[in-house]
Amino acid sequence: MKVIKKTHQMQIISDKLRMQGKTIGFVPTMGALHQAHIELIKRARKQNDIVIVSIFVNPLQFGPKEDYNKYPRPIKQDLKICRNEKVDYVFYPPVDEMYPKDGNLTFVEVTKLEDILCGKYRSGHFRGVATVVSKLFNIVKPHNAYFGEKDYQQLKIIERMVNDLNFDVKIIPVPTVRDIDGLAYSSRNLYLSDKERSVASSLYKSLVFCKELIQQKKYTLKQCIQKSKKYLDTLLSSVEHKIQYFEIYDNDLNPVPQNLKEIPSGKRIRIFVAVFIGNTRLIDNIEVTV
């Protein structure tokens, strides 16, 4: 495994690999790798000749009051995981290698999809995500790139960006990977205290609860959400918490009718939740077939 820190060097390597007819699988990360990242890497390893993982904590996607400076950066552990998973190259650039010293003047935005869910509360976040991912695609030049469904809005934004801007890369979604109690793996789980971690699986439990209400078809979607939020508040009553949103969209992030009878039978929709547990913001989602 080789660690590459220069963008130009990474581009030269990728060009040579492509000329040799090698398929490149790419897993973009911000480090602090966990089981969900490992699943992305394993999928890439199975489906490609070469696997490249990027580790870059992207300042553009953090707001002024967010956790950029304290975001975990256990690089030695991350590189060990990559070696164990037989990653071929780790692209690990410093910030001044990715962005001009006088500031970035060029950005990528995916309008409409950025304005809901997390984007509604994290202004500029997805502009930062789309910008850095577009740069990484131009640097790494992958054939296939792997993204987890836990960050579903991010996944759909990247898919739309790739389609709209004709990137020569295939986006491969990978189902959410969960701990034994249902909590979706996230680098931010490291911020939770033991007490907070003991109740964090409540996000998933509330999503399942809402799914069951929807499938009963006794209530409107608004009623399902209200009951699910109340249930989640009860589950989290032992810790400081705040529900930021609990919402439902279809799988393309379009609004869905409140009356379940107006939704075609067999249509797949998705429930989304974001919660602060203490100071830690967690998100999750699950799919429901109506």
Q: Over the stretch 137-167, which tens digit does the pLDDT of each residue have?
A: 999 999 999 999 999 999 999 999 999 999 9
Give the model's confidence band at 34: pLDDT under 50 very low, under 70 low, under 90 confident, else very high: very high
Mean pLDDT of 116-129: 96
207-221, pLDDT tens digit by residue?
999 999 999 988 999
What pLDDT does residue 217 have? 87
pLDDT score of 6 more than 90: yes
Q: Is the pLDDT of residue 79 over 90?
A: yes
| Mean pLDDT on 57-83 | 94
Please state the rounded mean pLDDT for residues 37-48.
98
Confidence of residue 261 (pLDDT cuts 50, 70, 90): confident
The residues assigned a catalytic role are 37
Percent of the chain beyond pLDDT 70?
Answer: 100
Q: Domains in the chain, please, with CATH?
A: 2-174 (3.40.50.620), 187-285 (3.30.1300.10)
Task: Quote the pLDDT of residue 66.
Answer: 87
Among candidate residues 155, 139, 138, the one with its CA nearest the CA of residue 147: 155
